[in-house]
Amino acid sequence: MATAESLTGGLLGALITAVPGASAVFRGGLIVYATDLKASLAHVDPDLLAAGGPVQRDVAVQLADGARTACAASLGVGLTGVAGPDPVDGRPPGTWFVAVTGSDLTMTRHGTPTPTEFPPTRAEVRADAVAAAVELLELVVADRQVDQQADR
């Protein structure tokens, strides 16, 4: 697997590589915090970025695909969002999108802030997005294990 992280700034990659033996499954990652790097390094469509900004579902999907391609991995994970304190392109802090892609799959999750007196902290927003990415990866791994058992 490989990652392309914007919102999380490498937090998912750090979490994965903290596990002994991670090198058996983790190829590497891109940290593309700046919008122009999403296009130049992760190959996100510049027109998509110009039209809707960096915080949208399709950007997360293209980040995941870009990570897969750049790192020659079978799975890619893309994370983008707004940690705050200010909105980005009209998206409030706490908005995020996560995608996991493979040659035969695309799975996404998103988070939107709930109106409360206390908005989520940057750390909470980033942790929520990473947790969603881990949940998606768990679903993919579980599904692939079922497929492998069925092939036997």
Give the pLDDT of residue 114: 83
- Which two tokens mark 35? 């919008």
Average pLDDT over residues 27-39: 98
Please give the Cα distance from 152 to 149 (Å, whole number).
Answer: 5
- Lowest mean pLDDT of 2-11, 103-112, 137-146, name the range: 137-146
Model pLDDT for residues 112-141, shown as the tens digit of each residue = 988 877 888 999 999 999 999 999 999 998
Ramachandran quadrant class, 72 (left: phi over 0; alpha: psi -120 to 50; beta: rest): left
Report pTM: 0.94
- 44-48, 88-92, 142-146: least confident range: 142-146
Tell me the two tokens of residue 2. 């490989």
Sequence-distant (6+) residues with CB within 8 A of 50 are none
Q: Which domains can be identified in the chain, with CATH numbers? A: 2-151 (3.90.950.20)
